[in-house]
Each structure stands twice: as C-alpha cells, then as structure tokens.
Chain A
Amino acid sequence: MEHSVSPSTNPSKQVETGGDWQRLAPISILYFTVGNIKQFAQFLIYVIPALAISSNIFEMHNASYLIAIGTGILATVSFSGLISYFFYLFRIHQQHVEVKSGVLHRRHINLPFWRIQNVKIEQPFYYRPFNFALVVLDTAGSSEEEAKIVAVPLPYALMIRKQVLADNAEAKQEESNAAETIRTRDDSDEQIVNRRSIHDLIVHGITNNRVWILLGAAAPLYDSAATIIYNWLESKGLKLEQLFGEETATWWQLGLYTLTALLIILAVLASLSIGGAVLTFYGFTLSRDKRRYIRRSGLLSKQEVSMKMSRIQLVTAQQDWLDKLLGRVNLYFEQNTSGTQPQTELMSPNKLLIPSVTVDEVHTLVNGPLPHSGIYTVSYQGVSKQFLSYWLGIWVWPIGVLLTGITTYLQLWNEVGVLVIAIVFITMFTLLRWWRWGYATDERYVYVRSGRMGLDFQCLEKYKVQQVSVVQSVFMKRKRVASVKIILASGSVTIPFMFESDAWKLANDLLYAAESSKKSWM
C-alpha cells in the first residue's frame, strides 16, 4: 500500500483510509494479469479455430515471426496488469467504500457500509505466501454494484469485514434500542460449529456431481487429454477403429467393450467429482460469531464467506437418492437473491452450502439460525389426493391414452412400447412426488417436505414472508383444496393442493406474523 493504513486507537477508524485515494499492494498486478490472461484465453477459444484454418492455408505455423507475435501478445497481456494496477484507486472514508477502476471504461463505485450485505474474503493461491487477500463487497441490489478491493493485507481485510458487519449491526441496534451499546469487536466470539473431513468431501464428491469444477478449469487441456486417453485405451487393448470401423467383433464382444468403457468413464467421472469437491471444500469450517456465520474452505484458493444470521430466509436440507442411501444431507442457508445474478451454488454468497453433513448434525445446525425448529421431528401433513387426480387425471393419462391410441392405430408398435413405459414411469414419479409432499407449521415456523426419489426439507420463519398467494382453480374449489405460494426474499416456496381451510389458515397466519411483528426480513 502506498500510504500504509495507520492504526488508530478508535476501532471504527481503523479501516478508514482518510480522504486520500489509495493504491493497492503491488501484488495486485499479478491478480490483474491473471484476470486479463483468463479473459484473453476465453477470447482465444473462439479465435483458435479461425487461426488454425488460416494457418493451414498460409502455412504460417513454421514462420518464425509467429514466436515474435506470441511474445508480443504475452508482453501486452502482462503489461495490461500493470496498467490496470495504476488505474485502480480506492478509499474507505466516512463509512463509505469507494473504488475507481477501469482503463477505457472508467467506473466509480461508492458503497456506504450500511448497504453492504456480504463481505467475502478470497485468497487466490499466489496471495497466500504473502498473506494478502481480495475483499468482495456485495449489496442487496444489482450485481453491478459489487465492489472488489483487489489486494490488501489479510489482517486489514478481516478488519474491513468486521467493521462493515459490526456497523450494520450497530445501526440496526441503535434504531431499536438506543441505550444498549455493543462491545463485541474481538474475534474471541467466533466458534467453529462444523468441520468437514476429507472423508466427508469424498462422500460429497460421489453423491453430488462436482465434475464441472475440474472440467471447467481444465478446458484448455482437453485436446491433449483426449489423445492421452485414446492412447491409454489402445494400450489396454481397446482399439476404437477396430471396434467401429470393421465388423470383426461379435455382439457380445461389443457389449463387453461398451460395458468396460462405461465403467471406466464412470470411475473417471467419480474421481473427477471427488477432486472437484476436495478442491472447493478442503478444510471446510463453518464458524459462528454472535450474529453471523463464516464459511472458510478451499485447497488452492481459499474462500471466506460470511452471512449475517438474521438475513437467512430459508434453510433447505436436501437429500438426493444417493445421499439418502448414505445418510447424508446437503444443508443450504439461503438469503436474499433478488437483484443479483444467479451464481453457481458453491461460490454463491447468497446460498451457504454445508456439504454432506450427517442426518444427526442437521438438527444442531438448523437450530443455529432457526432456534427451536423441528425440521425432522414435526409431523407432516400430506397434500391432498387431488394432486394426483389433477396431474394424472387431467394431463398425463388423457394425453398418454391419446398418443397410445394414435400410435396403435398407425401400428407403430415400438413407439407404443416406449409410450407405455414412459407413462408408467411418469405415473410412478407423480405418485412419489405426491407421497413426499407435505407441510407442517408450529408457532414460529413453516416446514415443507418434498422430493421424488430424494427427500428435501425446507424451513422458514413465518414473519420473513414477502408476499403470499393462494391459487385455486374451479376444479380445486369444488374439491375444497388450494395451493399456497409463499414468496421470500430468497425465492418462493410452494405447497400444492392443501386442504382449503389449511391453506387459508396458513396464509392468514403468515400475514399476521409479518404484519404484527413489524420485524425486518433482513
């Protein structure tokens, strides 16, 4: 930092840089360069085919000036990092974070502390030896308003986070209770509530497809990887040309080959997925401060996401069929998602994932943000059988019968077979869906159970509701059932085909909880 941040005795002033604009630590040049190279590589992916064709035409590939061009491009890209560095300025002044950045497209972001919803601290692997960090400040508004302080010393980053979050809490607290002051500024309050071992992460890799993490990162290497795999298969006696090119193999040989190939592919995918899980979640800890959760994880690049507890809108415990078999649950704490771009669930600061916890752990974890809730202990009321008569009786069966009739009339027996199998499967899944779907309420919470093969539980606090809809068709009215849609800041939760009286009771109850409590949803 050009002007080093001078620690003062007043804690609230510690992160303030004063009115002067600050430059980042020089290591940020590396970050900018990496970013620019990444962008350039993405651009190249589209350009390479064109280049390849033209190089064939003009036989440029052995021209010596190509090396010069390559070096030139590389130099420009690295130099661009330096330029970005000189064009980036920031200051934290009077409870505002301000960032000026961009070379051609200049941006000036001004974020008051109280608008900041999330503070995310990231450590790319090349920052770690020097103990630097990247601070990402999110607002509840659009993703355009995201500010990044690219390179500051880690202790300073932590201080920013503490200051911003404490400030938020303080502002709220002062509104509701002026007399009380907060004296919780030291890290000693932080307690680790959950850790994930390598064993857990391997289970997570198997049960959840995390292949894309590695596939995405390895995109530039695909071609050589394909060659290696091809050679390897060949060395194992699987000659692809022989298989498909000549008609020497009998059907059982072909079948065996396919099976072997499938098994190999599955094994490769599973190990890739495990690798992905370990890469993102290595050393996973979930800690709890007084009012917030902090998630830390990552093998190469460390990530730190913190989420204020009061901002959690919905807790989801998700179990796919494989999770169910192994007794594991993916637990999500979801907060405000409106206005932000949808992000991949693993990195998203809006959806905090605790990967593959055991069923026993779920209860303790859920009771953190939602005390005295009974996600697995309440008794769920199933939805009405009208759910089946609607989906099967109005949609699946009539359409199925019609299509089967047509194909039978046309004597397309193969198609008839496929149709019948499809109808049977859809019917089975609808039955499962009806059987799983259920709801329960108590004094404070609403619980929803759903799923087909898997089993998902959702729990929300009544007063956090943003809007409630009750939907009833003419047919449903006659049968005295109705669907309820609960809109939260994190999305919507639907309970279909409830008994009419229950639906209205729930809707009225939710509205009363929100309107009488007068509590903020944030």
Chain B
Amino acid sequence: MEMDNFSNLPVRPSELPDVREVAMTPVSPRYRIANLASVVSVFIILCLALTIAHLQPWVMLPQQLHKLFPYAVAVLALIATLLFSYHWFADPLVRYAIRQQDLILQKGLIFRTITCQPILRVQHIEIKRGPLDRLAGLAKLQVFSAGGSAYTFEIPGLSVERAVQLRQFILDHKDLDAR
C-alpha cells in the first residue's frame, strides 16, 4: 500500500460535504427556446396536416371525420399548451453542478429530483447531439454507470464546448471507473 497520498482523518457527520450547499449552474437558455420551438412547430405541422386533410378535394372522407376536425384541433391545442407551459416553467429549473468527486443534476417542476453521480462509478461517457440539438447548437452529456440504462445520468441543453469540457474533466479524473 502506498502511504504517500494516504490520509485518514476522522470526519464528523456534521462536516460531511452536503449536496444542498453546492451552487448550481442552469443549462443553456437555448435549451428552453429549442424545446418551446419544437413544441410549437410540431403543433403547427400537425394542424396543417389536419387542415389539408379537411379541405383537400381529392379523397372523399366520411362526413363524421369532418365533424371531428374542430375537436381534433382543440385537443392538439390543449396538449401543445400544456407542453409549452411545462417547458416554459420546468426548463429553467434544470441545473447542474460539478464537485471534485461527483456530478449533480437537479430537475423537475412538481417533483424536484436531485441526482448525484460519483465519478468513480462512471463506466463510460457519451456526448449525444440529435438533429434538434445540432440546430440549436446544443449537446447532451450522458454518463453511464453500472446502475443500468434506466439510470443513465444525463445533462441536457449544454453548449457543445461545455459538454466537451465536462467530458474531459470526467475522463481526466483519477478515480474514473475504480476497480
């Protein structure tokens, strides 16, 4: 056993580092804009499709389907409004923090979840950029542990530079995937 870097000072429970005391950084404001824009555009595309189906003269549709048109638009509008207001309020609450030993993510509107991922349990890291992310110049950082794919730690809405920086920080960590 190497003794050079070894220390074993007693730690009082009251002196344990506390997740709550960490200053959290919000994700990029573009994240909310991208989400809101995608909700609006999906709504518009669906409405257009419905309207075209309603007004087009080529294919005869049953009369009952035509009667449903205003209701379908209303339901779509309701869902879109709900999603819009959810992203409006919830997206600014997505925040993250990095400590020497772990990553912290806070999210949720009604149920607020704070998740903490120790770096020494990280197995591998991915930067994911979907088409929407690329359009908005954003990236997702996915951190995988042995906890399984259901518990992948994911920070959304990062600027690309920040995502790369974070990945490098994790890769350079000396305890990465401790064996």
Query: CB distance A473 to B116 under 8 Å?
Result: no
- Which single member of B13, B101, B110, B114 contacts A509 (CB below 8 Å)? B13
Q: Which residues of B contact A518 (CB under 8 A)?
A: 120, 175, 178
Within A158-180, the residues touching B (CB, 8 Å) are: 172, 175-177
Report A462-479 CB contacts with B as 1/0, cut-off 8 Å: 000111111111100100
With contacts defined as CB atoms under 8 Å apart, how many contacts are there between chain A and chain B in the complex? 104
Contacts of B58 in A (CB 8 A): none
Q: Are B146 and A489 in contact, with the CB atoms below 8 A?
A: yes
> Are B149's CB and A338's CB within 8 A?
yes
Whether B54 sits at the interface, judged by CB under 8 Å, is no
Chain A min CB distance to B122 (Å): 9
- Pick from A77-85, A319-327, A414-422, A500-508 the stretch touching chain B: A500-508
Complex contacts, A469 vs chain B, CB 8 Å:
113-116
Interface string of B110-132 (1 = CB under 8 A from A): 11111111101100000000000
Interface of B: prevailing SS:
mixed
Whether B62 is near chain A, meaning CB under 8 Å from some CB there, is no
A177 contact set on B, CB distance < 8 A: 1
Contacts A487-B145, A511-B116: A522 and B153 contacting too (C-beta < 8 A)?
A: no
What residues of B have a CB within 8 angstroms of the CB of A512 in the complex? 11, 16-17
A519 interface hit (Cβ, 8 Å) = yes
Interface size class of B (residues with CB under 8 A): 20 to 34
Given contacts A512-B11, A519-B178, A521-B121, contact A466 B116 (CB under 8 A): no
- As a 0/1 sequence over residues 274 to 304 of chain A, the CB contacts with chain B under 8 angstroms (1 = contact) are 0000000000000000000000000000000
User: How far, in Å, is B97 (CB) from chain A's closest CB?
Assistant: 13
Question: Given the interface contacts A471-B113, A472-B111, does A337 sit within 8 Å of B17 by beta carbon?
Answer: no
Taking A466-B121, A491-B148 as contacts, is the C-beta distance between A471 and B111 under 8 angstroms?
yes
Question: Does B19 count as interface, using CB distance less than 8 angstroms?
Answer: yes
Complex Cα distance, B179 from A519, in Å, reads 7
Interface 1/0 per residue, B149-164 and A, CB below 8 Å: 1010100000000000
Question: Are A467 and B19 neighbours in the complex by a CB distance under 8 Å?
Answer: no
Contacts of B117 in A (CB 8 A): 467
Per-position contact with A for B93-114: 1 when CB-CB < 8 Å, else 0? 0000000011000001011111
CA gap between A509 and B108 in the complex, in Å: 24
A221 to B116, CA, bound (A): 54
Q: How far apart are B52's CB and chain A's nearest CB, in angstroms?
A: 40
Which residues of B are found within 8 Å of A522, using beta-carbon distances? 179
A511-B102, A512-B16, A518-B175 known; A338-B148 Cβ under 8 A: yes
Partner of A467, one of B101, B147, B175, B179: B147
Interface residues of B in 1-30 (CB under 8 A from A): 1, 11, 13, 16-20
Give the chain A neighbours of B151 by CB distance below 8 A.
466-467, 487, 492
Give the docked Cα–Cα distance between A471 and B111 (Å): 6
Are A472 and B146 closer than 8 Å at their CB atoms? Answer: no
The residue from A172, A474, A515 contacting B179, defined by CB atoms under 8 A apart: A172
Interface string of A300-340 (1 = CB under 8 A from B): 00000000000000000000000000000000000011110
Q: Which residues of B contact A339 (CB under 8 A)?
A: 148
Q: Shortest distance in angstroms between B146's beta carbon and chain A's nearest beta carbon?
A: 4
Contact A467 B110 (CB under 8 A): no
A393 to chain B, nearest CB (A): 16
A487–B16 contact, CB under 8 A? no
Quick check: is A514 within 8 A (CB to CB) of the other chain? Answer: yes
A465 vs B151: C-alpha distance in the bound complex, in angstroms? 12
Contact B179 A520 (CB under 8 A): yes
Instruction: Please name the residue on chain A nearest to B20 by beta carbon.
Output: A504
Chain A positions within 8 Å of B175 at CB level: 515, 518
Closest approach, in angstroms, between the C-beta of A316 and any C-beta of chain B? 17
The reply to whether the CB of A488 lies closer than 8 angstroms to some CB of chain B is yes
Complex A-B, nearest 10 residue pairs according to Cβ-Cβ distance, in ascending order = A338-B148, A466-B147, A487-B147, A489-B146, A515-B101, A469-B115, A466-B145, A487-B151, A520-B179, A473-B111
- Spell out B's residues near A (CB within 8 Å): 1, 11, 13, 16-20, 101-102, 108, 110-118, 120-121, 145-149, 151, 153, 175, 178-179
A-B contact pairs, 7 of them (CB 8 A): A472-B111, A473-B111, A489-B146, A511-B17, A512-B11, A516-B11, A521-B146
